Amino acid sequence: MAPVAEPSPRPGWLAASAVYLFYAAVVLRTLALQAIWPRLPVFLALEFLSLLLFSVMLWRPVQRPGLRHVYFLIQALVVFALQALRLRFDFIIVLYIPLCYQAALLLRSPARWLWVGAYLLLSAVPLAFALGALQALAIALLPMTACIIFPAYVIVNQELEAASRASQALLSELQEANRRLQAYAGQVQQLSAIQERNRLARELHDSVSQTMFGITLHTHSARILLERDPDRLRPELEQLRTLAQSALAEMRGLIAELRPKENGTIAQPAPSDLGLKP
């Protein structure tokens, strides 16, 4: 079984821009509330600290999983400190949305969902103490939904990327298998050609060579008869002609087998293929 790949910590620019908008919204909301101006430096310091930690981990993530959990714990404490400064400020819980997004980027399941669940509780429980359960749920429901949607978006993208990589790997394997099959088919074709040549060589030796040997003997006999008994020469020449025609027919058959087929039939050789006339 192939090892499980680590989640990709690199965000897309569009998703990262959307996440940074949450930080911008929280900072602008903080500046707009006159009630917290006496503590404005503390609020802004904690908010920028959370943004700094988020950015460092987003673009230069640590490799050790244990340190990543420490990071998420520190981030939770920073945002909870902001909540503790004024529990009724519901906009602070928006800062949990980027953390849920980052948990999906940096952690595997089920650890990512454990942190998402923890951030969901931190979004609702402090508000419930300050505003009551029903009002806290009404206020926190939209941010809590975003806390689930962003990780789901990341996970779907990771699964699509993994499926794409698996498809590319499968395509490469299929292309390599096709290349090997073509090479194997070429080797089989060469082997078949060698076997066919060997068969034709055996047939040539077994039939044509014997016929040619007979022609040689009859030619020698004809020469002797020409000198000693010319009257008996004609039958010998007829036999010699028969052997020559038989050898010619066998040679034509072998050449026909060597020729490629045309329209499903074997092309017959012309007499000139052997340098002889029929």
Q: Using an 8 Å Cβ cutoff, are 134 and 166 in contact?
A: no
Percent above pLDDT 90 for the chain? 37
Q: If we measure between CA atoms, which residue out of 204, 278, 277, 254 comes closest to residue 268?
A: 254
| Positive or negative torsion for Cα 55, 61, 62, 64 | positive
Q: Which domains does the chain have, with CATH numbers?
A: 13-171 (no CATH), 177-260 (1.20.5)
27-61 residue pLDDT tens: 999 999 888 888 999 999 999 999 999 999 988 88
Over residues 68-119, the pLDDT tens digits come to 999 999 999 999 999 999 888 889 999 999 999 999 999 988 999 999 999 9
Strands annotated E in the chain: 261-262, 265-266
Task: Give the residue with greater pLDDT, 271 vs 195.
Answer: 195
pTM: 0.63
**Closest-CA residue to 13 (of 53, 59, 72, 75):** 59
The per-residue pLDDT for range 222-231, each reduced to its tens digit, is 777 667 767 6
- Report pLDDT for 107: 92
How far apart are the C-alpha atoms of 180 and 139, rounded to whole Å?
A: 63
Q: SS3 of 109, please?
A: coil
Residue 62, phi then psi, degrees to nearest 5: -70, 155
